[in-house]
Amino acid sequence: MTNREEIERRRTFAIISHPDAGKTTLTEKLLLYGGAINQAGSVKGKQSAKHAVSDWMDIEKQRGISVTSSVLQFNYAGKCVNILDTPGHQDFSEDTYRTLMAADSAVMVIDAAKGVEAQTIKLFKVCTLRHIPIFTFINKMDREARDPFELMENIEEILGIKTYPMNWPIGCGKEFKGVFDRNTRKVLAFSSDGRANGVKKVEETEAELGDAALDQLLTPYLHQQLVDEIELLDGAAEEFDLDRVLRGELSPVFFGSALTNFGVEPFLENFLRLTPTPLARVDSLTGEAVDPCRDEFSAFIFKIQANMNKAHRDRIAFMRICSGKFERGMEAYHVQEGKNIKLATGTQLMAQDRAIVDEAYAGDIIGLFDPGIFSIGDTLCTGKKKVEFAGIPTFSPEHFARIEQKDTMKRKQFVKGMEQIAQEGAIQIFREVGGGMEEVVVGVVGVLQLEVLEYRLNTEYNVEIRMQQLPFEQLRWIQNDPDTYVLRDLDLTSDTKAVEDMKGNRLLLFTSDWAIRWAETHNETLKLSEFGNI
Ligand code: G4P
C-alpha cells in the first residue's frame, strides 16, 4: 500500500459523553465488531480489576476508574480506526479536553432517558472550537427512553447544533426491535440470543418498509407507528448535507443500545462512511494547511503521561501524526528545542499491553518514550521546510487549592515536582502577580487531580504538602496588553483574585459566574478569555 493509501484509510475520533451514558460499553462494542476483541467484557469492567488502559496509580485502583486516556486501534472494512479513549469519570482532567485536539471527529453518546447532560456540554464546546464533525449515538434504547423527536429537539436546543437522524428507532425498552435506515430506506430488525449483555454480535434481518413480514417481525402496531413517524421525519426541514456535517454544523444521529449491540454495526458502518480522513492541520509559521499525504513527517504532542507502569519509571509523550509516515528510530526536528532527535520507541497502548510500533501514518497516535524533553504542544517534523503547529489551548480549571510544603527544607524537590507535574499538563500553577513559589495556587479541571498531585509529590518527590481548597470556580485569562493595562484599577468583587501563570500571563480567579459578569460589566475595556495558550 502506498503512504497515501495508508493515510486515506485512517479514521481518528474521540468518544465523548456524560459519565454512565455508555461510552465504555460502546467503545467495547466497536472493538467487538472491529474484531479487536472476541468477546465483550474483556476490555473493561468498572468493578473488576481490569481497566481499559492503565492501572498505573493506586488511586485508580482504589477508585476503580481510569484517570488517564489511551488509544485503541483496529481495522474494519479496509479502514484503520483509531479511537481516542477519554476518561469517563466525573473527575476528568484537562487531558480529556486535549485528547479532542488530536481527533478528527467526535462521537457524542447520549443516554436516551436523560438527553444532553452537563459533562457533554463542556466537551461539546471544545469540539465546536475546532469545528470538527460531531456524530450522535443515542444509547440505551433498550430501556424506557424519551420520545426520539423530543431528544432531537433537546440536542438542538441545548447544544445549538442541527441534527439529522440517520436512522430511526423502532420502539424502545423491551419493545426496541430495530432501526429504520434512512439512507437505504430499509428496516433492520435485530434479534439476540437472549443474553442480556450482548457478548456476541447481534442478528439482523432486513426488510422494506410496508413489507407484510414486518407485521410479524415488529408487530403491526410498531410497523404502522414507524410508517407514520418516517413520513413525519421526511417532511421535516433538515436535509442531509455532508459539507455541513464536516463543518460541525449538522450532527448525524443514530439510535441504538450498546449493551445489547442493537444498532452498533449500522452506526459503525455509516459513521466510517461519513467521518473524514485525517484532517490537515495548519502550520502557524505560514498559515497554510499541511497536506497529511505529503512525504515529510510532522506531528504534535498533545499529552504527557508519567509512570504509567511501575516497571518502567518513565514518561510517555503522546503524539498525533499530522503528515507523512513515522518509522521507529527515525530522526525528526524538535521545533521547540531547535534540534534533531531520534524517535526511538513508538508505543501504542491497547489494554495493558504496550505494543512497539515500527511504522505509523498521519492520523495515528503513538506514545514516545520521553526522557523529559517534550512539552504539550511541541511540534516534530522532517524535511527542509520546518513547520510548527499552533499550541494546544489551556482549558479553564474549575477547582483550586493553595499548596504549601510541610517541610521547608525540601523546597527544591517541591518546586521540581510541581514544575514537572505542571509540564505534563496535569495541573496548572499560579502565583501572586510578580510573586515567587512560596505560595502557590493550583488549578485543575477535575478535583481528582488534586489527590493525584498530593500522592505523586509524596511518592515520587518525597514531599509532604498542606492543601487548602479555595472557593474559586472559574478562571479567565486577561487578554489586554500586560505593558499598558494596569490591574490595580480594575473594579472587581472582593472575592476575585488576580494571579499569573508560570509564563507570566495574567488571570483572574472568580468564585461565581456572577463575579465574572461583574468584572465584565464594570470594566469596559477588560478582555477576558476562557482559553489560554500553552
Ligand atoms: P461510561 O463509560 O459512559 O461511564 O458508561 P458505561 O459504558 O460504563 O455504562 C454505564 C452503565 O450503563 C453500565 O452499567 C452499563 O452496563 C450501562 N449501559 C451502557 N450501555 C447501555 C445500554 O445500551 N443499555 C442499558 N440498559 N445499559 C447500558 P453499570 O451497572 O453501571 O455497570 P456494569 O456493572 O454493567 O459494568
What pLDDT is recorded for position 42? 43
Q: What is the DSSP string of 283-335?
A: BTTT-PEEPTTSSS-EEEEEEEEE-SBTTB--EEEEEEEEESEEETT-EEEET
Domain ranges of the chain: 3-274, 281-381, 394-533
What's the gap between Cα 501 and its chain centre?
25
Return the closest-CA partner of residue 242 out of 218, 203, 274: 274
* Ligand 1 close to Cβ of residue 136 (< 6 A): no
* Ligand 1 close to Cβ of residue 22 (< 6 A): yes
* Ligand 1 close to Cβ of residue 73 (< 6 A): no
What pLDDT is recorded for position 168? 95
pLDDT tens string, the chain, 534 residues long: the values are 999 999 999 999 999 988 889 988 898 888 888 876 655 554 444 433 333 333 334 444 444 334 344 677 888 999 999 988 776 555 566 777 888 999 999 999 999 999 999 888 888 988 988 899 999 999 999 999 999 999 999 999 999 999 999 999 999 898 898 999 999 999 988 876 555 556 667 778 888 888 888 888 888 999 999 999 999 999 887 889 999 999 999 999 999 999 999 999 999 999 999 999 999 999 999 999 999 999 999 999 998 877 555 555 567 788 999 999 999 889 999 999 999 999 876 665 544 445 677 889 999 998 888 878 888 899 999 999 999 998 787 778 889 999 988 888 888 899 988 988 888 787 899 998 777 777 799 999 878 788 888 988 988 889 999 999 999 999 999 999 888 888 888 999 999 999 998 888 899 999 999 999 999 999 999 999 887 764
**What are the cell numbers at 141?**
434504547
Per DSSP, 487 falls in state G
* Ligand 1 close to Cβ of residue 261 (< 6 A): no
Q: Is 263 annotated as a binding residue?
A: no
321-349 burial code (b ≥16 CB/10 A, e <16): bbbbbbebebebbbbeeeeebebebbbbb
What pLDDT is recorded for position 38? 56
Nearest alpha carbon, ligand 1 atom 18: 22
* Ligand 1 close to Cβ of residue 443 (< 6 A): no
Q: How far apart are CA 460 and CA 445, in angstroms?
A: 22
Ligand 1 centroid distance, CA of 427 (Å): 30
What pLDDT is recorded for position 62? 47
Ligand 1 centroid distance, CA of 496 (Å): 41
Nearest alpha carbon, ligand 1 atom 17: 22
Fold of domain 3-274: Rossmann fold (3.40.50)
Nearest alpha carbon, ligand 1 atom 26: 140
Q: How far apart are CA 275 and CA 37, in angstroms?
A: 23
Of 3.20.20.70, 2.40.30.10, 3.40.50.720, 3.40.50.1440, the CATH number of 281-381 is 2.40.30.10
**What are the cell numbers at 153?**
429537539
pTM of whole model > 0.75?
yes
Ligand 1 centroid distance, CA of 293 (Å): 39
Q: Are 109 and 134 contacting, i.e. CB atoms less than 8 angstroms apart?
A: no
What's the gap between Cα 474 and its chain centre?
21
Index of the ligand 1 atom closest to the CA of residue 143: 26
Asked whether this chain's domains 281-381 and 394-533 adopt the same fold, the reply is: no
* Ligand 1 close to Cβ of residue 315 (< 6 A): no
Q: Is 286 annotated as a binding residue?
A: no
Index of the ligand 1 atom closest to the CA of residue 44: 36
* Ligand 1 close to Cβ of residue 140 (< 6 A): yes
* Ligand 1 close to Cβ of residue 259 (< 6 A): yes
Q: How far apart are CA 401 and CA 427, in angstroms?
A: 11
* Ligand 1 close to Cβ of residue 142 (< 6 A): yes
* Ligand 1 close to Cβ of residue 394 (< 6 A): no
Q: At what angle do helices 264-274 and 23-33 cross, to 10 degrees?
A: 80
* Ligand 1 close to Cβ of residue 64 (< 6 A): no
374-408 burial code (b ≥16 CB/10 A, e <16): bbbbbbbbbeeeebbbebbbbbbbebbbebebeee
* Ligand 1 close to Cβ of residue 112 (< 6 A): no
Q: Is 19 annotated as a binding residue?
A: yes
Of 3.40.50.280, 3.30.70.2860, 3.30.300.130, 3.30.70.3280, the CATH number of 394-533 is 3.30.70.3280
Q: Is 91 annotated as a binding residue?
A: no
Ligand 1 centroid distance, CA of 41 (Å): 12
* Ligand 1 close to Cβ of residue 474 (< 6 A): no
- Tell which one of 30, 46, 47, 50 to mutate to probe ligand 1, the residue whose CB is within 8 A of the most ligand atoms: 46
Q: Is 29 annotated as a binding residue?
A: no
